[in-house]
Every structure is written in C-alpha cells, then in structure tokens.
Structure 1
C-alpha cells in the first residue's frame, strides 16, 4: 500500500510531535487528521482502529499503528535512522528513553494545576540540567562526533533537538554551560529538512495553550492524559 502516512491525533504536540519530527527528518511527507470531538475518538475505538483505546494513531504501510514507541521505532528502522547494528540500536534506545522521560514532563506541564506550575517548571529545569542534558553533553564531547551514535544522524538526535527546543521555550537559558549541546542544536537546526520544519507554516505544532488542553480533556473525557 502506497500513499503518505496519516497521523491521527489532536491539533497539537503531545505524543504525536516526535512522530512528526522523525518523519520530517526522514524526508517523508504526511497527512494529518485532527480530533476535536468525543464522537471522533469513540468512533475510532468502535471501528477497531485503536488497539488499546489510546492515541496517537498512525496509518502507514497498510497498518494502523498505535503506541508512540512502536510507531517511532518502525519509522526509524524504515528510514535508516536506527543505527547500523544491534549495539548502536541499544544506545539509540537508551538515549531515546531518557529524552522521552524528560519530554513527558514537558508534555504534561500544560495539564498541571496552576498552583503546581512553578514547582513543575523548576523540576523540569533541575532534571534537564542535572540528569538528562549532561549525558548528551558528555557523549558528544567524548567521541568528538557531530551526532550521538555512529557519527550519523539517528532517531536519538532528532528526539534530542526536539527536546532542547521544547525546554528552551520554557527556560531560554537552559543550555548555558552546555557548549556541545549548543553546537549540536545549531547543526541539527540547520539541516535542510529540520530548518524548513522550524519555519512558520510547517506542520510543527506551537506550544500547547489552554484551548489545546481543553480539547484533549473534552475528547478523552475521563482519560486525564493525552496517551
């Protein structure tokens, strides 16, 4: 089955944004269907399109794929962004899992109650600068290469640039003291496909606002987080 991948999710970042990033980095065009009613979501469940009654949903190569990790690993493998052997893949997996942990904090931040936002932002800053970013700073410095694994761009690099930019939106000075990551950010942001993705009018979604949060909660109703 040919045709562009179809991404079915809310009109916002959430768990679909890393899928958009990875497809863009692979040079793959895609279509999007945005959910904004409870009825659309229920219909997908009744149609059997959502294996675990969870979003995101990506239709690709004749499959209806769910579970973000499965979707991303399929795309990474299909488009040669998943290392050259099992050892490289293991490192990519480790890096991706770490970045995903940080991005989960970013993704859930808009759903925080107002009284918790300051505390949660401080936690994001602490984790980014003391737990996650130092790992990538050290990796890039030690092997002296432009990318995290195998000296070529991989899924891990794509997720890292997404995370850096997402954290910077909330904490602009977060990369102070991370010279390797500053250079990495410049390199990745200047790759033609990613540079285009960062321009206005691209499929990249803006930071989530109150409307996005309200839409997610309305569609999922008793489901609190945008799985």
Structure 2
C-alpha cells in the first residue's frame, strides 16, 4: 500500500480537492473506501478521527483530519503555497472563495428535488456575479492567481470551474481569462493525466454515493 492513504467514500465530497492536490503534486495514494457503518465506527474506536468525521489522510506518519488543514499541509509540503506570508494569505483568500462555491455544489445531491432548482439558480448567480468576476480580474495579464508560480488556489479554481460547468456548460462564455486559464492548466502533465478516464478523479455523485453516505453517517 502507498505511504499516503485516503479514507473516504467512493465519491467526491470533501476529499476530491485533496485528490486534486496530491495528483498535481505527483503523489501516489491509495484509498480505503468506506461502505458500511461498521467501517466508520472502527475508525472512531481506534481514535483515528479527531472530530469524529472524515476525510482522513494518513501521510508522513500522521493521521490528518479537517479538510483545510490537510490541503494546507499538502500545499506547503509540495511548493503550492506561495513564497512568503503575503502570497500565502492571498492564496488562502482565493482558495476560500473557490471552496465556498464548490461547497454549494457538494450539497446538491442531498437536498430535496423541490430545493434543487432554487439551489442551482443560486449557484449560477453567485458564480456569475460574485466569484468568477474576481478570478477573471485576478487573471488579467497574469498566468497564475498569485505570484509567478502554480499554487493550490489555481488547482482549486480549475476544479471549481469544471464542477460549475458540469451544471452550466456555457457559464464561462463571458470570462475569457478564465477560459484561457482552464486551457493552460489542462496542459500541465499531472493535471492532464488526472483528467483522463481511469484516474482517481471521481465522477459527479450518483444515487449510490448519496445512499452510502447517509447510511454510514446515519443522517
């Protein structure tokens, strides 16, 4: 088994951004896919889950929990977190924006059909009016969101734009800088590989994923 092991469900959720960063960093990882309540309770009983929740990532002899902490650790270790504190705080701000947008999408499979239409309309309006204009401006005349080096903020932005496009295929039509950014990012070998069929990138959540999550977490 790899030195890096991810414990989560067989789906995107909070783990997908972690998969993205590891893939971009060129880190091989294995996954333990939770399918039953008993498997989750075993992690609880052996003390692996500090706050009784996943994602859980085993790496460098540690058991890491809390999504932001895991992402920041990976970004810092693999030179995806800027060159100084000023760049880091800018990266954090951009990354938090993309995570806010992605979180709105992640909850969609768990809302009622009546709520889904309203949620989708909200996602579309927020993407068009709040989030994408910020990144469009930041990428004006710049290859990356912060500084002159690829950062975790860039990786999260690519992931977020692809997720939104799955719901609204033409949503980037009025954002040429974002379109160009997407095209550049897809030429990075590690990203190109991760986007290919058969990679460890997860597909959009389906009914089986939703059912498993609800049964394992009992909600």
- CA–CA distance in structure 2, aligned partners of residues 76 and 4 of structure 1: 17
2:96 match = 97
Alpha-carbon distance in 1 for matches of 2:181, 2:135: 10
- Tell me, which stretches of 5 or more residues in structure 1 are unaligned? 223-227
1:4 Cα deviation after fit:
2.5
Distance 2:3 2:80 in 1: 19
- Show the counterpart of 1:221: 218
Q: What does residue 9 of structure 1 align with?
A: 8
Which secondary structure state, in structure 2, belongs to the residue aligned with residue 94 of structure 1? Answer: helix
1:190, distance to aligned residue in structure 2 (A): 1.3
Using the size of structure 2 for normalisation, the TM-score is 0.98
User: Shift in Å at residue 87 of structure 1?
Assistant: 0.1
Output the CA distance in 1 between the equivalents of 2:4 and 2:129: 37
In structure 2, list runs of 5 or more residues that go unmatched: none
Q: How does 1:1-227 map to 2 (within 5 A)?
A: 3-141=2-140, 144-222=141-219
Residue 225 of structure 1 is matched in structure 2 by none
Tell me how far apart the structure 2 counterparts of residues 124 and 7 of structure 1 sit (CA, whole Å). 29
Q: Distance in 1 between matches of 2:3 and 2:79?
A: 18
Q: How many residues align?
A: 219
**RMSD across aligned C-alpha pairs, in angstroms?**
1.0
In the TM superposition, residue 37 of structure 1 has moved relative to its aligned partner by: 0.1
Q: Which consecutive segments of 4 or more residues in structure 1 shift more than 3 A? A: none
Cα distance in 1 for residues equivalent to 2:148 and 2:121: 33
